[in-house]
Amino acid sequence: MRIERLSIGGFGSLSPGMVLGLDPGLNLVLAPNEWGKTTLSHFITGLFYGFGQRRGGRHPYEPWGGGDTGGELVYSLDSGQSFTLGRHLDKREILTLRDEAGRDVPLERQQPGELHLGLSRGAFLTVSRIELDDLQQALYAGGVGKELDNTRQWLSGYFFGEAATRGEVANPVSVLQRWAAERERLYSEDRRRGAETKALAQRTAQARETLALAQGREAQLRQVRRELEDLTKQTKELTGERDAAALAVREATKHLEQAQTLARRDQLLEKIEQLAALGLAGEADEARARDLQGRADSSAKRAESAKTQAQQAREMAAELAPGGEPERLEAHLQGLQGLRSELNATHRMQEAAENDLNRQTRALQDRWGLDTAALASIDPHTFQEVERLRGQARESAKINEAARVTMMASLPESKQLPKWWIVVAFMAGLGGIALLVLTFLTYLPWWCSLIGAATIMGGGALLLLWRARRNYNKLADEKLAQALAAAEEAEAKHAVTEKELAQAQEKLPQALREAEIMDVSQALAEARRLEGERASRAKERAELEKKREELLAQAKQAAPMASGTMESALEEMRKRARQAQQALAHADRLDEQAQRDEEMAASLQEDLKQLLASLKLTDIEALAQARERGRQIDKLRAAVWELEQNLQACDLLTPHSPELAGKTLEKLREDFAALDRKTHDLSIRRGELTGELEHLGKSESAAQAQARLDSLQQERVELARRHDALLLAEAILTRAMEEFRLEAQPGLLKKAGRFLAMATVGAYEWLGTDLFDAPTKGDPEISTRSGPGAPEREIIALSRGTRDQLYLCLRLALAQEITEKGESLPLILDDPLVNFDAARLPATLNMLGRLSAERQVIMLTCHPHQAELLERKYGAHRLEI
């Protein structure tokens, strides 16, 4: 199996979104500490076997920057099948496994590592992932607790079974341990063990107790049956007595009810006589008296209501007209109308003046594009400053132009010589020198020397001319630069003046920026005049409004219900005067009606007095009481008739005493209650005995308890026989395992010895161990020697570096041994070589390079020299994290 690609969504300090492609051979990750190397190895393990539980609501490997926790891994098996494994943490862990076609692979409650690698998590950590801390123990890296115990048990059983029987029979170590556990479970001198023996002894003691209890229950059962028969007889006798007592109670109750009915009839007859003695009245008399009383009360109420309405009408007239005099209100109304006419005339004059003022204001605004308030607020000195800056700008422009003309006129003419001039001068000089030298060396005629000298002089003249022209041009350039500087200075002054002018113009409105100062001054004076007149008109308008409001207040005082205008107030005053006159007339009519109603009420009251006197009653209330007594007598006579209908003739002739009948009934009821309680007690006791009888019948019998005790005795004999057989089998198997250990060495130690010889450069080449005899709770003891016949050295006597090398070789041999017939797992090495010296480190790296030809190797290190050796010699595929 090899890992092809890792995609990290987020895991600890690893960068989210990182994708790593791995080669099938040697892969190298070089990074400093705290850079994520160990986190990467835990990420691979977590994808195959789970990320583990959260702690305090958070997962230890949640991304440092936040976000998704998890990622994906693409791997292929030795069979050529490729799979994509994904695992992410949300509210719960989400696991997906898909094949090459994208189909989901069913896991059936297994982890992907268990399904495709055939190893548990502890076994994977032991044979595939090797960290520096793992080299502190011989073989086991399966975590802690139960997981570590399972790994130890699995390894010890695997190696003995493979080495001794090549897997053809059961694991002898596991068999021996199961036999010992079974034997100690059956019987042990240690009180903490021998669970079967202790359990059997407890069950035997319980069986003896059960037998004794069953024998006692059988005697108790016979006694309960006899007592239950006696209770049945007593219950039958009490039932007869209770029925007779119930019949006597019913008869006594009937006699008591008859006596109470007769006493009630006598009381009703006596009450009828008493009511008749107080006096009675007929229904017609009561109706006539109440009619007279009602008509008299109604007339009195109408009279009172008319008086009240008349008073209200006069009060309303007083409210509408001061003092209740409508003539005064009319005179006040005429005065207010005169004042209103004067105010309206004044208002029309003010409106005419304001219209003329607005016409002048609009004319000024149409010319300058600004209202008079804006023109009046402008400072006149601003225009003077603008005119001054305009003059300075024109003056600076003239100076700038004059300076430019002067500069152009005074510039010297710059004449440039052709570039070939200097070349000709040098060539002439060189030619003359060459001719002189040739004449001197070859004895040419003398005139050749003259020609050479002339040529040299001509070249020098040309060179001097070129130099003079160059100096002239340099002087011309300096003068040009000075002229340009002066022109730029004048231009800068002009720009400053223009900028100040623009800033000053920005303070003015757009319409005034180009206007003449005289026109603007006249416009500003006119605007200030108009604004002054506008303020004066506003003051006059405010005074007029004040007078109008005072007049309106007087009108509203006279007419509070009027709306806000003067016309409505005057109209309201006219309306109030008319309403006051109507109210006074209505009050006079109501007074006349009240007088008529009072006379009618007095006449009706006199008729009522005469009627009551004829009935010998004092008032209408006495008449009502007499009529109520008549209705009560009618109801009482009906009740007496109903009682007599329920009684028989003999009961009317033979009276009974209610007191005597009540005492007899109470005595019979007490006797009946006593019999009832006794019957109830017997019923409860009978129920208790019946329940006890059922319980005793359901319990185990003495014969069943004796049979179970005999069965336990036979089981004890069988347990002792099994214990002796297991003890004998353990002795035989232990002797056979000892003989095998002394005769053969497992293939694991042979492979580890070969790796150790390569890693230690031949210093050690043999390993020995008590792996097969080691207890399941600790590491085995390991010894080594340099070769055949050499003394053995215990691992505790070796240096830390040598121990790390020995344990590393043992782990590598373990990986080969475990995966020889299965998937070739990749080796994940997390910096295990830090304690290797300069001689053994290259040898170990060489061993890992050779091993990468057989299986995938992922080397995680922070040491550059290790990475350099692997890259230079084996071409390791380097990964960046």
C-alpha 698/C-alpha 221 separation (Å) is 11
C-alpha 614/C-alpha 732 separation (Å) is 142
Using the structure block, give the residue that is written with the tokens 């979104």.
Answer: 17
The counts of H helices and E strands in the chain are: 22, 13
Q: How far is CA 736 from the centre of its chain?
A: 67
Using alpha carbons only, what angle is made at residue 761 by residues 756 and 766, rounded to the nearest 5 degrees?
35
* The predicted structure's pLDDT at residue 322: 62
CB atoms within 10 A of CB 379: 11
Task: State how far the alpha carbon of 724 is from the alpha carbons of 179, 183, 240, 367, in Å.
Answer: 11, 8, 75, 135
Return averaged pLDDT per consecutive 10 residues of the chain, 881 residues in all: 94 91 94 91 93 82 86 94 93 90 90 88 86 66 54 56 46 73 71 69 80 77 80 83 83 80 82 78 78 84 85 77 61 69 75 79 74 68 68 72 65 58 74 76 75 79 79 77 75 76 66 64 74 80 76 63 62 74 80 85 83 78 80 83 70 62 79 82 81 71 77 82 83 73 64 90 81 54 78 84 89 85 89 91 93 94 92 90 83
Using alpha carbons only, what angle is made at residue 597 by residues 592 and 598, rounded to the nearest 5 degrees?
100
Beta pairing partners, 28: 859, 878
Which phi and psi (to 5°) does residue 153 adopt?
-60, -45
The side-by-side arrangement of strands in the sheet containing 69-76 is 18-21, 2-10, 69-76, 82-89, 93-99
* H or E element in which residue 750 lies: helix 747-759
* The predicted structure's pLDDT at residue 717: 82
Residues 6+ apart with CB under 8 A from 2: 22, 24, 75, 76, 824, 826, 855, 856
* The predicted structure's pLDDT at residue 775: 47
Residues 6+ apart with CB under 8 A from 77: 1, 83, 116, 823
* The predicted structure's pLDDT at residue 46: 94
Buried b (16+ CB within 10 A) or exposed e, 255-277: bbebbebbeebeeeeeebeebee
* The predicted structure's pLDDT at residue 88: 92
31: left (phi over 0), alpha (psi -120 to 50) or beta: beta
Q: Please answer whether residues 374 and 528 qualify as being in contact, where contact means their C-beta atoms are separated by less than 8 angstroms.
A: no
Beta pairing partners, 829: 130, 859
Beta pairing partners, 29: 860, 879
C-alpha 508/C-alpha 506 separation (Å) is 5
* The predicted structure's pLDDT at residue 59: 84
Residues 6+ apart with CB under 8 A from 398: none
Q: How far is CA 75 from the centre of its chain?
A: 38
- pLDDT tens-digit profile of 770-805? 655 544 445 667 888 887 777 888 878 888 889 889
- pLDDT tens-digit profile of 209-267? 877 787 777 777 778 788 888 888 888 888 888 888 888 888 878 887 877 788 888 88
46: left (phi over 0), alpha (psi -120 to 50) or beta: alpha
* The predicted structure's pLDDT at residue 654: 53
